[in-house]
Amino acid sequence: PCRYSSAALLRGPHAPRLSPRPTRGFCHPPGTWLLYLPCTWSIGLAAEPGCLPDWQMLSLFGVGAVLMRGAGCTINDMWDRDYDKKVVRTASRPLAAGDISTFQSFAFLGGQLSLALCVLLCLNYYSIVLGAASLSLVVTYPLMKRITYWPQLVLGLTFNWGALLGWSAIKGSCEWSVCLPLYFAGVMWTLVYDTIYAHQDKKDDIIIGVKSTALQFKEYTKQWLSGFSLAMLLSLCMAGMNCNQTFPYYSAVAAVGAHLAHQIYTLDIDKPEDCWRKFASNRTVGVLLFTGIVLGNL
């Protein structure tokens, strides 16, 4: 269940008051959707003209997304257990609260990765190697906020690996003229939504000494987000042209652009509640694009 903690009990009566927000999990699943949707784009683009995407592959990648999102959260909590104790919204996480030991978390992570491996082994050999190559990113991206103001970029490289893997799972290898622009578009998208998300944490991040693009961009955030959005849209157009997509696809890209423009224009970076709503609304962006891919194929 989502829980809130008392700042007074956790940090003392004279500590800065940190804004509580719900902990992550199945009660707040946008993260899993944002990991899964680039997979659906790639699987959809790889479908034969006139055909629907492979529903079995979509289901398999859905299970994989749940497992790998969970594994990523476990790894993040293991790296950040000392930081999490200092932030109200994360202090109740099992490792930070001392409810489970480091050994137990390793055992749980082993179970998650073992199940994810079972999913990966259902794919072709090329995809197995490609999928395994992403594990180094999964393990190291939680560390990036300690050393760079661009951890969202590393998260983008990690979260959008499915844009490569989905195509190879269908075709047996990557068509780089399609997969690379799609992957780049996903990375730009992650920079948009996770920078918005990071603005919720900026006061806490300053206190505990971690970095983010929100702290890097400051009052120029909207200009940066506009640039990332434009790069995303151009990359999506390139991917579509390289696999002969049709009018519904480009209509969906236009709708994605309109959605992102509205997000950025109405965003209030100093209101955590608004940042959360804008972040969560990015599931709509991914679904719009997937719908356009399917209709474009048909």
pLDDT at 74: 84
pLDDT at 280: 94
Cα four-point dihedral sign 123, 124, 126, 129: positive
pLDDT tens digits, one per residue of 245-298: 999 999 999 999 999 999 999 999 999 999 999 999 999 999 999 999 999 999
Provide the angle, in degrees to the nearest 10, between the axes of the packed helices 55-79 and 162-171: 150
pLDDT at 8: 29
Q: Yes or no: say if 249 and 293 are a contact pair by the CB < 8 Å rule.
A: yes
Q: Yes or no: say if 229 and 192 are a contact pair by the CB < 8 Å rule.
A: yes
Q: In 10 A of CB 224, how many CB atoms?
A: 17
Indicate the pTM of the whole model.
Answer: 0.85
Provide the angle, in degrees to the nearest 10, between the axes of the packed helices 176-198 and 221-242: 160
Helix residue spans in the chain (DSSP H): 7-11, 30-46, 55-79, 81-84, 94-97, 102-120, 125-133, 135-140, 144-147, 151-159, 162-171, 176-198, 202-208, 213-217, 221-242, 247-266, 272-280, 282-297
User: Is 61 a residue whose pLDDT tops 70?
Assistant: yes
pLDDT tens digits, one per residue of 158-191: 999 999 999 999 999 999 999 999 999 999 999 9
Distance in angstroms (rounded) separating the CA atoms of residues 282 and 160 = 14
Cα four-point dihedral sign 171, 177, 178, 184: positive
pLDDT tens digits, one per residue of 202-256: 988 888 888 999 999 999 999 999 999 999 999 999 999 999 999 999 999 999 9
pLDDT at 85: 65
Ordered structural domains, the chain, with CATH = 27-43+53-297 (1.10.357.140)
